[in-house]
Structure 1
Amino acid sequence: MRHVFRTTALAATLCVAASLAVAATAGADTDWPVFGGNWQHQRHSELTQINVHNVNRLEPAWTFDTKVSGSFQATPIVVGRVMYVSLPFNGVVALKADTGEEIWRYIHDRIKSRPMCCGPANRGVAVENGLVYMGTVDSRLIALDAQTGKKVWDVDVTGGEQGVHEDADTLGKDLNTNGGKMTVAGTSGAGINMAPMVVDGLVIVGITGVGYGLHLDKPDPNAPLGEVVGIAGKYGRRGFMAAFDAKTGQQVWKFDTVPATGWEGHFRKTTPDGVPLPRNIAQEKRELNKYPDAWEYGGGSAWSTPAIDRENGLLYFGTGNPSPQMEGSSRPGDNLYTASLVALDVHTGKIKWYYQQVPHDQWGYDVASPPVLFTANIKGKQVPAVGEAGKTGWFYAHNRITGKLLYKSDSFVPRKNFFKKPTEAGTLIYPGVIGGSNWSPVSVDEQRRDVFVAGIHWPVRYTLHTLPANADHGELKYSSMAPTDDGQRYGILSAINLDTGKLRWQHKVDQPLIGGVLSTASGLVFTGLGEGKLIAVDADTGKQLWAGQADAGVNAPPVTYTVDGRQYVVAAAGGNKLFGYQTGHTIRAWALPAP
Structure 2
Amino acid sequence: MQRLPRLLIITLVGCLMLFSGAVAQEENASDISNATTELQTAEGVPPEILQYAADWPLPNRDYENTRATTNVSISSENVDDLAIAWTFDINATGTFGGASSNPLIVGDTVYFQDLFADTYALNLADGSVKWERIYNNTTVTGPNGPAVGWGKVFVTNDPFSIAALNTSSGEELWSMQLINTTPLEGEIIGEGIDIQPTVYNDLVFTSTVPGRGDVFYQGGAVGFLYALDQETGEIVWNVSTVDDPVGIWGNPEVNSGGGAWYTPAVDKETGITYWAIANPAPFAGLPEFPNGESRPGPNLYTNTLMALDHATGNMSWFTQVLAHDLFDHDLQIAPILTNANISGEDQKIVISGGKMGRVYAFNRDTGAILWIAVVGRHENDQLARLPPGNTTVYPGALGGVETPMAYANNTVYAPYVDLYTNWTPTSSLSLGVEGAPQAEIQSVPEGTGGLVAIEADTGKILWDRKLDSINVGGATVVNDLVFTATFNGTIYAFDAVTGEEVWNFTAPAGINAWPAVANDTIIWPCGVGEMAQVIALRPGGMDGMTPTPTATMNVTPAATVNVTPAATVNVTPAATVNVTPMATMNVTPMATMNVTPMATMNATPTATMNATPTATMNATPTATMNVTPMATMNATPTATVNVTPTATMNATPTATPAAPGAETTVEIAADNLAFDTETITVPGGASVTMVFDNQDGGIPHNVAVYDGPLRSEAIFVGDIITGPAEITYTFTAPSEPGTYYFQCDIHPSMNGDFIVE
**Structure 1-normalised TM-score?**
0.76
Q: 1:498 aligns with which of 431, 443, 456?
A: 456
1:364, 1:67 → 2: CA distance?
Answer: 31
1:384, 1:89 → 2: CA distance?
Answer: 39
**What is the correspondence of 1:27-106 to structure 2 with a 5 Å cutoff?**
30-47=54-71, 49-69=73-93, 70-106=97-133
Quick check: 1:337 aligned with 2:337?
no
Quick check: 1:362 aligned with 2:326?
yes
Quick check: 1:260 aligned with 2:292?
no
Q: Displacement, 1:466?
A: 8.9
Quick check: 1:555 aligned with 2:587?
no
Quick check: 1:3 aligned with 2:27?
no
1:419, 1:499 → 2: CA distance?
Answer: 25
Aligned to 1:390: 354
DSSP-derived class of the 2:116 partner: helix
Q: Displacement, 1:480?
A: 3.7
Moved more, 129-138 or 505-514: 129-138
**Structure 2-normalised TM-score?**
0.60
1:392, 1:513 → 2: CA distance?
Answer: 15
1:380, 1:551 → 2: CA distance?
Answer: 48
Confirm or deny: 8 A CA contact 1:258 1:295 kept in the other structure. Answer: no
Aligned to 1:571: 524
Q: Displacement, 1:263?
A: 8.4
Confirm or deny: 8 A CA contact 1:319 1:367 kept in the other structure. Answer: yes
1:526, 1:244 → 2: CA distance?
Answer: 34
Amino acid at match of 1:150: E
Q: 1:531 aligns with which of 463, 484, 488?
A: 488
Aligned to 1:591: 538
Amino acid at match of 2:113: S
Quick check: 1:462 aligned with 2:494?
no
Change in 2 beyond 3 A, CA 1:214/1:153: closer
1:202, 1:139 → 2: CA distance?
Answer: 18
Confirm or deny: 8 A CA contact 1:122 1:137 kept in the other structure. Answer: no
Quick check: 1:157 aligned with 2:178?
yes
1:514, 1:62 → 2: CA distance?
Answer: 23
Change in 2 beyond 3 A, CA 1:384/1:296: farther
DSSP-derived class of the 2:80 partner: helix
DSSP-derived class of the 1:88 partner: coil
1:498, 1:34 → 2: CA distance?
Answer: 23
Q: Displacement, 1:487?
A: 6.9
Moved more, 358-367 or 33-42: 358-367
Change in 2 beyond 3 A, CA 1:379/1:262: farther
Change in 2 beyond 3 A, CA 1:505/1:236: same
Aligned to 1:284: none
2:76, 2:538 → 1: CA distance?
Answer: 14
Moved more, 378-387 or 31-40: 378-387
Structure 1 residues 535-558: Cα deviation after superposition (integer angstroms, max 9, x where no partner): 211111212211222221122111
Quick check: 1:123 aligned with 2:144?
yes
Amino acid at match of 2:207: G
Aligned to 2:226: 242
Quick check: 1:194 aligned with 2:151?
no
Confirm or deny: 8 A CA contact 2:98 2:116 kept in the other structure. Answer: no
Structure 1 residues 142-195: Cα deviation after superposition (integer angstroms, max 9, x where no partner): 0001100010000101132779988xxxxxxxxxxxxxxxxxxxx763221211
1:527, 1:545 → 2: CA distance?
Answer: 12
Structure 1 residues 515-544: Cα deviation after superposition (integer angstroms, max 9, x where no partner): 3111022x1011112122222111112122
Moved more, 244-253 or 538-547: 538-547
Amino acid at match of 2:471: L
1:513, 1:37 → 2: CA distance?
Answer: 21
Amino acid at match of 2:535: R
2:452, 2:329 → 1: CA distance?
Answer: 20
Aligned to 2:271: 313
1:50, 1:34 → 2: CA distance?
Answer: 20
**Two-structure CA RMSD over aligned residues (Å):** 3.1
1:517, 1:370 → 2: CA distance?
Answer: 12
Confirm or deny: 8 A CA contact 2:284 2:425 kept in the other structure. Answer: no
Q: Displacement, 1:68?
A: 2.6
DSSP-derived class of the 1:60 partner: strand
Amino acid at match of 1:450: T
Confirm or deny: 8 A CA contact 2:427 2:438 kept in the other structure. Answer: no
Change in 2 beyond 3 A, CA 1:67/1:326: same
Aligned to 1:417: 380
DSSP-derived class of the 2:458 partner: coil
Quick check: 1:428 aligned with 2:392?
yes
Q: Displacement, 1:297?
A: 4.8
Q: Displacement, 1:298?
A: 3.4
Q: Displacement, 1:120?
A: 3.5
Change in 2 beyond 3 A, CA 1:548/1:213: closer
Q: Displacement, 1:130?
A: 0.7
1:246, 1:314 → 2: CA distance?
Answer: 18
Confirm or deny: 8 A CA contact 1:457 1:490 kept in the other structure. Answer: yes
Confirm or deny: 8 A CA contact 1:492 1:507 kept in the other structure. Answer: yes
Aligned to 1:15: 47
**What is the correspondence of 1:95-244 to structure 2 with a 5 Å cutoff?**
95-108=122-135, 110=137, 116=139, 120-160=141-181, 189-210=190-211, 235-244=219-228
Moved over 6 A (4+): 161-166, 211-215, 261-264
DSSP-derived class of the 1:366 partner: coil
What number of residue pairs does the alignment pair up? 490
Q: 1:405 aligns with which of 369, 385, 388?
A: 369
1:165, 1:463 → 2: CA distance?
Answer: 31
Q: Displacement, 1:212?
A: 12
Aligned to 1:519: 477
DSSP-derived class of the 1:304 partner: coil
Confirm or deny: 8 A CA contact 2:486 2:512 kept in the other structure. Answer: yes
Amino acid at match of 1:456: V
Confirm or deny: 8 A CA contact 1:133 1:142 kept in the other structure. Answer: yes
Q: Which has the higher helix share?
A: 2
Amino acid at match of 2:377: P
Change in 2 beyond 3 A, CA 1:213/1:84: closer
Question: Any gaps of 5 or more consecutive residues in structure 1?
Answer: 5-12, 22-29, 167-186, 216-229, 265-287, 468-472, 576-581
Structure number with greater CO (CA < 8 Å, separation at least 6) is 2
1:163, 1:494 → 2: CA distance?
Answer: 48
1:163, 1:425 → 2: CA distance?
Answer: 39
Confirm or deny: 8 A CA contact 2:209 2:222 kept in the other structure. Answer: no
Confirm or deny: 8 A CA contact 1:437 1:455 kept in the other structure. Answer: yes
Q: Displacement, 1:330?
A: 1.5
Q: Displacement, 1:322?
A: 1.4
Q: Displacement, 1:371?
A: 1.0
Q: Displacement, 1:486?
A: 9.9
DSSP-derived class of the 2:269 partner: coil
1:213, 1:322 → 2: CA distance?
Answer: 18
2:453, 2:530 → 1: CA distance?
Answer: 29
Aligned to 1:171: none
Change in 2 beyond 3 A, CA 1:86/1:477: closer
Amino acid at match of 2:172: K
2:328, 2:186 → 1: CA distance?
Answer: 19
Change in 2 beyond 3 A, CA 1:83/1:495: same
Moved more, 253-262 or 533-542: 253-262
